[in-house]
Each structure stands twice: as C-alpha cells, then as structure tokens.
Structure 1
Amino acid sequence: MSLQKHDLVHEFPEHRERIHALKLNDNHFARLFAEYHETDHAVHRIESGAEAATDERLEALKVARLRLKDQLYAMIKADAA
C-alpha cells in the first residue's frame, strides 16, 4: 500500500496562499484545519503501522477527514469569490 500525504496544501496546492491567510485570519477555519491535520496524522500512523486500530476505526477517521476536507474546501472557495 502506498502512503500518500493528505495534508491540505498537498490536496489543494493552487490555494496555498489562501489557506495560509485563512489560517491566520479566520478562527473557525484555523480550528477545522487543526482538526483535519490531527485526523490525517492519525490515519497516517495507522496506515504506516505505527499505531494499531480496527478497520472500523480507520474508516471512521477517513470519513471524518473527508468531511473536514469538504468543509475546508468550501471555505476556501467562498473566500475566493
């Protein structure tokens, strides 16, 4: 299995500056960004074998990561408008 980076800047490199600005100026975005980062890190630890977890736990984390990414992307797009 290939482990891919899913941090937000790798997911949306074209929005690097906007992500940075939102992290600095929007507390809600910054909180969701931190939660996304923590969730992504937890998924990576499990997938790399550094931490054990059930398949259900891993899937729940992946779903949470996807929901956070969707929310963050919506905020990025709204900021661009």
Structure 2
Amino acid sequence: MSHTPHELPEEFPEFAGKMVELKQSDDHFAKLYDDYHDVNTAVYRAETNLEPTDQFHEEDLRKKRAALKDEIYRILSAA
C-alpha cells in the first residue's frame, strides 16, 4: 500500500487552475476542497502510523475521501 498523500492538484493536474478559481468563487467547492484535504491528511496519518487507528476507521476515511474526490471531479469536469 502506498503512503503517498493524494493532494488534489496532483490528482487532477489538468484542473489546477480551475481549482484555484473555484476555491475563490464557489463556497461549496471551497468547503469540499477543505474537507477533502482534512480527510486526506487523516488517511495519510493513519497509513503512516502517525495517528494509528483500527482498519475499519481507516477504511471509512478512505471511502469518505473517495466520495469527496468524486464530487470534486464532477464539479471540475462540469465547470
């Protein structure tokens, strides 16, 4: 398993400029972006044992991160 952070600009480099624009102009997108960052950080910290947790909590965090990423991608690709 990779312990690499999944930051949004690295995940969607083709939308880097659009992300900056939407974070400033769309409150909903900005909240999703911040929520993704928070969950992604929690996943990374769990995976690297900086903040150990049980496998079920870690799996729930990954599912939440995936759902946020999907919604963010939907907004980026529709804009």
Q: TM-score, normalised by structure 1?
A: 0.94
Count of residues in correspondence between the two structures: 79
Runs of 4+ in 1 over 2 A off after TM superposition: none
- RMSD of the alignment, in Å? 0.8
Given the alignment of the two structures, is residue 45 of structure 1 paired with residue 54 of structure 2, yes or no? Answer: no
Match of 2:20 in 1: 20
Paired residue type of 1:9: P
Paired residue type of 2:67: R
Q: Percent same amino acid at aligned positions?
A: 38
Q: CA deviation at 1:3?
A: 1.3
Q: TM-score, normalised by structure 2?
A: 0.96
Work out whether residues 23 and 33 of structure 2, in 8 Å CA contact, stay in contact via their aligned partners in 1. Answer: yes
Match of 1:64 in 2: 64
Q: Which runs of 5+ in 1 are unaligned?
A: none
* Partner Cα distance (2:5, 2:39) in 1: 12
Paired residue type of 1:29: F
Match of 1:36 in 2: 36
The CA deviation string for residues 34-71 of structure 1, in whole angstroms up to 9 with x for no partner, is 00000000000001110010100000000000000000
